[in-house]
Amino acid sequence: MIVVTGGAGFIGSNLIHQLNTKGEDDILVVDNLAPAANLSGPKFLNLHGARFADYMDKQEFRAALKAGDFANTAVRAVLHNGACSNTLEDDGRYMMDNNFTYSKELLHFATERRIPFVYASTAAVYGASMEFAPVAKNERPLNVYGYSKLVFDDYVRRLLPRFESNVVGLRYFNVYGPREQHKGRMASVLHHFTKQMKETGTIRMFEGSGGYANGEQRRDFVFVEDLARMNRFFGGLMPESPRDVVKAVVNAGTGEARTFKAVAEALMLVHGPAKVEYIPFPGDLKNRYQHFTEADTTGLREAGYSEAFTTLEEGVRRTFEVEPAK
């Protein structure tokens, strides 16, 4: 069995669909499908057409782990993509339980049984830093979401020498792709721009900020299918997966920052022309916003992942092959 937490979410559901294309369906999906104020639609639709063996609510799953219910279950990999990824969530107690304590529970379950453990970290740990190598001097989160992820990364890094099976933290950069329609404000800029194009014919992007001109803010946009493949690679689920044990916290990004203007241009190649309007930078994002991200991929390549990344233009095209714009 393969355990995928956050399996109904954006990255988790794409991972499950990709596993299915490779003949894998002995999958336990773990998620929380309760309504949430930050969601703009139901997550369960992301699993439409997916094949999996079982589903458990996150709280039910945590209780089962604690009770030892999986002691005799043959688990091939734990792919932990479950988290609260709302960068505007200020409830630190909730965030630390959801992103730190829950992750610790899974880490120890997996490592005590020598099960490959791959988990989602985030580029939010870097905050306003302009350097993106995964070292302490660059790690300055701007919100409790980024902090909760950094605390777990640090916990993992302290324990890495003890582990005898794969433990890999993937610091996701700016992920985009199909099946993110439920994420509301936290969806990628690609999703927001598309909605604007279809509703008004105009793309609205921020005026100059953080030292960048209008629409010139830059992010490392990474296609969700590339991240799904990384999960499979480090989870030991591919013929080319590493034979030796890999223990690392690495960046999961392309290493090439692209502007928001470039995203708009890529979308116009798919949907047709649109106007561009520049709007004032939102006050509630002040001191919480990354104007620039670009992954240092040295650690990722040293860990054995050599696959080329999907270009922004190709990823945008493929996104709407799976998820036609409405």
The domain made up of 2-175+222-255+294-309 has a fold known as: Rossmann fold (3.40.50)
Residues 134-163 have pLDDT tens digits of 999 999 998 999 999 999 999 999 999 999
Residues 73-129 have pLDDT tens digits of 999 999 999 987 777 777 889 889 989 999 999 999 999 999 999 999 999 999 989
Across the range 23-45, mean pLDDT stands at 86
Q: What is the pLDDT of residue 326?
A: 43
Please state, rounded to an integer, the average pLDDT across all residues of the chain: 93
Strand-strand pairing, 2-5 and 202-206:
unpaired
Q: What is the pLDDT of residue 38?
A: 63
Lowest mean pLDDT, pick from 51-60, 200-209, 246-255, 264-273: 200-209
Q: Which residues contact 128 (CB under 8 A, 6 or more apart)?
A: 140, 142, 290, 291
- φ and ψ at residue 192, rounded to 5 degrees: -65, -45
Can you say how many angstroms the Cα of residue 292 is from the centroid of all Cα atoms in its chain? 17
Cα radius of gyration (the chain): 19
The single-letter code of the amino acid at 312 is L
Cα–Cα separations (whole angstroms), residue 212 to 218, 222, 260: 8, 21, 11
Active site (catalytic) residues: 145, 183
Give the global pTM.
0.93
Across the range 2-26, mean pLDDT stands at 97
Q: What is the pLDDT of residue 325?
A: 42
Q: What is the pLDDT of residue 39?
A: 66
Distance CA 37, CA 42 (A): 11
Distance CA 20, CA 68 (A): 28
Please report the sign of the dihedral spanned by the C-alpha atoms of residue 224, residue 228, residue 231, residue 234.
negative
Three-class DSSP labels, 162-185: HCCCCEEEEEECEEECCCCHHHHH
Q: Is the pLDDT of residue 302 over 60?
A: yes
Closest CA to 139 of 149, 151, 148, 129: 129
CB contact at 8 A, 189 and 44: no
Q: Is 287 left (phi over 0), alpha (psi -120 to 50) or beta?
A: left
Structure tokens at 29: 């999906």
Q: Please tell me what DSSP assigns to residue 71.
A: T
Q: Which residues contact 43 (CB under 8 A, 6 or more apart)?
A: 8, 9, 13, 31, 33, 182
Q: What is the pLDDT of residue 37?
A: 63
Residues 78-89 have pLDDT tens digits of 999 998 777 777
Residue 289 binned pLDDT confidence (cut-offs 50, 70, 90): confident
Q: Please tell me what DSSP assigns to residue 292.
A: B
